[in-house]
Amino acid sequence: MRAHQPRASAKLAAPIIVTAFLLASCGGAPSSSAATPGTHYPVSIAQSDGTTVTITHQPHRIVSLSPTATEMLFAIGAGAQVTAVDDQSNYPASAPMTKLSGFQPNIEAIAGYTPDLVVGAEDTGGLVHGVQALNVPILIEPAAKTLDDSYAQIKQLGLATGHTAEADALVARMRSQVGAFVASVAKPTRKLRVYHELDNTYYSVTSATFIGQVYKLLGLDNIADAATGAAPDYPQLSAEYIVSASPDLIVLADTKCCAQNLSTVAARPGWSVIGAVKSGQVVGVDDDIASRWGPRVIDFMQAVAPHVQQLEKAA
């Protein structure tokens, strides 16, 4: 309940200023102050590469090239200011999806939407340089490594779009929901092991990733963490290893891309002996939800947490 309060108060005019100041001080994003109501433009936003982006007025023609940023923008009430989103931004349904690509950005096509703010997830194909050449501010909100990264990005987008109060409220709500999920799973004596599958060639995630952090919060041991040293954060695991590690829970983030489910997993050579397969604790999640670090991380936890509870009861 408490989590909803900031959002309700955001509808009043006066507290916005207060909230904006609070956000500016706790979010660490420096904001220059002009004595106008609402968000004070220009705002300066620190980027992860050390540069600072200045936004001179509230943007009304935002182009988002990042599905996660799109979800964040709509969740903080900036959806009406979004003019175009990339071809992967399939949520929410009201997002103005276009053929723009975030992987292979076409500066001319982006310019065609006459944006006053561009948001992307990574600087590929000279994106930042090209957009800056158009004299348009561009924010890069890269893949989060932790929930705190994700919260910071939501607040940053709130500041950039003039929705600081909603952003703050969203973060508060997410924090309390995450807290509730974490509290809902007991801390068992025997650690439960999870295997998170990105595709059907056994690419997975370690605890150094956003999703890995979520598993950690739920008190799970991630079998991919054995891949250390030179191995990447998204290692491709050996089938032998997965089978011998016999995870208690398998989370399939390849239900859409690769049509995987309990029966396809059980049919893989040697996999039928895995604990999770024998007990049926193979959870299919929406690929998109499991690969975005936005507000729907709550949906992801909602899908996974009940299985953790079941496993704990069984143990």
Partner 1 sequence: MQGVKVRSAPVVLRGLPSLPVLWAAAGVAALLAACVAGALMGPVHIGVGTVLRALTGGVVDPGQANILWSLRFPRVVLGVLVGGMLAIAGAAYQGVFRNPLADPYLLGAAAGANLGATLAIAFGPGTTVIGLNIVPLAAFAGAGAAVAGAYVLGQTVSGLRSNTGLILAGVAMAAFFNSVQTYVQQSQTGSIRQVYSWILGRLVTAGWDGVLLVLPYVVVSALVIFLHRRLLDAMMIGEDEVTSLGISVRRVRLIVVVAATLGTAAVVAVGGTIAFVGIIIPHTIRLLVGRSYTVVVPLSLLFGAAFLVLADTAARTILAPAELPIGVITAFVGAPFFIAVMRSTRAASL
**Cα–Cα dist 161/60, whole Å:** 8
**Comparison of 50 and 269: residue with beta carbon closer to partner 1:** 269
State the minimum distance, in angstroms, from the CB of residue 131 to partner 1.
Answer: 20
Amino acid (1-letter code) at residue 215: Y
Q: Which residues bind partner 1 (CB under 8 A)?
A: 87-88, 101, 103-104, 198-203, 226-227, 229-232, 235-245, 256-259, 268-270, 273
87: amino acid identity, one letter: D
Taking the complex as a whole, the smallest distance from the CB of residue 272 to partner 1 amounts, in Å, to 8
Choose between 200 and 310: whose C-beta lies nearer to partner 1: 200
Nearer to partner 1 among residue 57 and residue 191 (C-beta): 191
Pairwise CA distance, residues 39 & 185, whole Å: 39
Amino acid at position 165, single letter: A
What does the alpha-carbon distance between residue 239 and residue 9 come to, in Å, rounded to a whole number?
52
Buried b (16+ CB within 10 A) or exposed e, 2-26: ebeebbeebeeeeebbebbeebbee
Q: To the nearest whole angstrom, how small is the minimum distance from the Cβ of residue 239 to partner 1?
A: 5
Q: How far is the CB of 121 from partner 1 (least distance, A)?
A: 13
Residues 6+ apart with CB under 8 A from 267: none
Q: Minimal distance in Å, beta carbon 231 to partner 1?
A: 4
Three-class secondary structure of residue 94 per DSSP: coil
In the complex with partner 1, which residue's Cβ is closer, 258 or 298?
A: 258
Beta-carbon contacts of 82 under 8 Å, excluding residues fewer than 6 positions away, are 62, 63, 64, 70, 73, 74, 95, 96
Least spacing, CB of residue 299 vs partner 1, in Å:
19
63 or 174, CB closer to partner 1? 63
Report the residue number, 273 or 315, with the smaller CB distance to partner 1: 273
